[in-house]
């Protein structure tokens, strides 16, 4: 039985590598690979592949709180008035929370972590190359673009928001390896630094999206806090803000978006804007948040129940057609979504989960390049969750669970002394 157990472990690891590569490229393939990984993990449980591996994973504080968060979803289904299809659909989407322990038991202290990281880097390198090529193609007036893509600007494979969030993580990965990859040849570290610069340019100049600006800045500031020598930390943080601000100032598309954001906030009057239909408009998000808070106030303790978001929101949102341009899907804020469906208990457990992630990833910050990435990934999650609901989105809920598992359970191969030159 042992050879079979080892083979199933290797197969599960290989599937996770394939998932890391496919996440930036294909939602359909992500779903297929996710189902295949679950099947192989179950077969591995029967064959003994995970003997001795479950206990340290299930006793990990982040995993315990993650399981409690899914338990709160199941509990809130008991008082939900939503249709059974909506309740079942939401429970199915939240199965992504269970992916965190499943991925962790496969990856814990194995070589598959580095292979997943390499696969993601290759996929994002391909995405960056195609995005740059698309921009140059348009500048050259070469006609219709040969490959299909979605989103504004030069986004490839995903809508512009997802493209920029994934590119922010890629910049974090490449820059962490360039700074901390002591075992890498010098030319490789310089190449990774160049990729990081190109990725930042791609976000700030080529693919419009205010979410990407926020996630990139959050990750860079956190990486500086982790790796910059303490005497230079203040100037380094200020320099990052100045450089990013200058890049945005020199970008016409960024200026237009930021100017529009400021005008919309000043003119915020709910959903009465003449520009309906764009769910990314700042005034519409502010209106959605205002209405979502009103829905929370109706049942603050227990919430409206699992799967009830759309029916609860659309029943009271004003004007009534707010559901048609964004608010009916989710409130563009993870905390608000959890509060509406899970009430105070759900919010408390979700807050405990992100707090535990912050503490445990910060504790691992000196464990080589993987440790350096952890706090930055958490910062990206928090910035993104302020303006969207990543646990509701297919790409994001696969991606973040995989990366959190990688960074929490990566082998501690090297240590960096924080604050040293």
- Tens digits of per-residue pLDDT, 17-63? 999 999 999 888 999 999 999 999 999 999 888 888 999 999 999 99
Q: What is the pLDDT of residues 374-386, one digit of tens each?
A: 999 999 999 999 9
Rounded Cα distance between 231 and 239, Å, is 14
**What pLDDT is recorded for position 149?**
66
- Of residues 243 and 373, more confidence is placed in 373
Model pLDDT for residues 69-126, shown as the tens digit of each residue: 999 999 999 999 899 999 999 999 999 999 999 999 999 988 999 999 999 999 999 9
Prediction pTM value: 0.89
CA 121 to chain centre: 15
**pLDDT, tens only, 338-365:** 999 999 999 999 999 999 999 999 999 9
pLDDT interval class at 417 (50, 70, 90)? very low
Kindly report the backbone phi and psi dihedral angles of residue 361, in degrees, each rounded to the nearest multiple of 5, phi listed first: -70, -35
Mean residue pLDDT across the chain: 86
> pLDDT tens for residues 389-407?
999 998 999 999 999 999 9
Q: Which residue has the higher pLDDT, 64 or 146?
A: 64
Nearest-angstrom CA–CA distance, 199 and 113: 22
Span 300-320, average pLDDT: 87
Q: What percent of the chain has pLDDT over 90?
A: 58
- Among 73-77, 133-137, 284-288, 387-391, the minimum mean pLDDT is found in 284-288
Does residue 269 or residue 155 have the better pLDDT?
155
Q: Tell me the pLDDT band of 327, cut-offs 50, 70 and 90.
A: low
Side-chain-side CA neighbours of 147 within 13 Å: the count stands at 16
Is pLDDT of 2 > 60?
yes
pLDDT of residue 243: 82
CB neighbour burial string for 260-284, b if at least 16 within 10 angstroms, e if fewer: eeeebeeebeebebeebeebbbbbb
- Across the range 317-346, mean pLDDT stands at 83
Q: In degrees to the nearest 10, what's the CA dihedral of 197, 400, 283, 171?
A: 0
Q: How far apart are CA 154 and CA 413, in angstroms?
A: 37
- Compute how many other C-beta atoms are within 10 angstroms of the C-beta atom of residue 187: 8
């Amino acid at each position: 039985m042992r050879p079979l157990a080892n083979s199933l472990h290797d197969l599960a690891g290989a599937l996770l590598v394939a998932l890391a590569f496919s996440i930036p490229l294909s939602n359909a393939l992500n779903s297929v690979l996710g189902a295949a990984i679950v099947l192989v993990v179950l077969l591995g449980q029967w064959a003994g592949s995970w003997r001795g591996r479950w206990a340290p994973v299930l006793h990990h504080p982040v995993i315990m709180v993650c399981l409690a968060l899914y338990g709160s979803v199941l509990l809130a289904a008991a008082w939900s008035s939503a249709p059974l299809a909506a309740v079942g659909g939401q429970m199915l989407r939240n199965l992504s929370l269970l992916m965190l322990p499943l991925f962790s038991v496969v990856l814990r202290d194995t070589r598959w972590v580095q292979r997943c990281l390499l696969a993601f880097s290759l996929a994002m390198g391909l995405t960056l190359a195609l995005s740059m090529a698309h921009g140059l193609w348009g500048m050259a007036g070469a006609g219709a673009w040969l490959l299909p893509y979605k989103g504004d600007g030069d986004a490839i494979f995903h809508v512009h928001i997802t493209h920029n969030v994934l590119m922010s993580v890629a910049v974090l990965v490449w820059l962490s390896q360039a700074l901390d990859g002591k075992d890498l040849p010098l030319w490789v570290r310089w190449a990774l630094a160049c990729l990081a610069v190109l990725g930042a340019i791609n976000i700030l100049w080529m693919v419009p999206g205010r979410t990407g600006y926020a996630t990139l800045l959050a990750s860079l500031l956190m990486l500086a806090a982790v790796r910059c020598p303490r005497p230079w930390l203040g100037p380094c943080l200020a320099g990052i803000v100045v450089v990013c601000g200058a890049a945005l100032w020199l970008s016409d598309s960024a200026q237009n978006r930021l100017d529009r954001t400021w005008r919309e906030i000043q003119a915020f009057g709910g959903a009465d804007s003449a520009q309906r239909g764009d769910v990314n408009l700042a005034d519409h998000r502010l209106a959605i948040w205002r209405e979502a808070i009103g829905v929370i106030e109706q049942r603050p303790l227990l919430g409206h129940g699992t799967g009830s978001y759309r029916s609860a929101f659309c029943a009271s949102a004003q004007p009534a057609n707010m559901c048609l341009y964004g608010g009916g899907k989710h409130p563009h804020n993870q905390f608000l979504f959890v509060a509406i469906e899970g009430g105070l208990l759900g919010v408390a457990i979700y807050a405990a989960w992100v707090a535990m992630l912050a503490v445990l990833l910060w504790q691992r910050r000196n464990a080589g390049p993987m440790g350096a990435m952890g706090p930055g990934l958490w910062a990206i999650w928090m910035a993104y969750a302020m303006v969207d609901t990543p646990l509701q989105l297919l790409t994001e809920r696969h991606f973040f669970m995989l990366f959190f598992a990688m960074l929490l359970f990566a082998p501690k191969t090297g240590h960096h002394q924080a604050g040293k030159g």
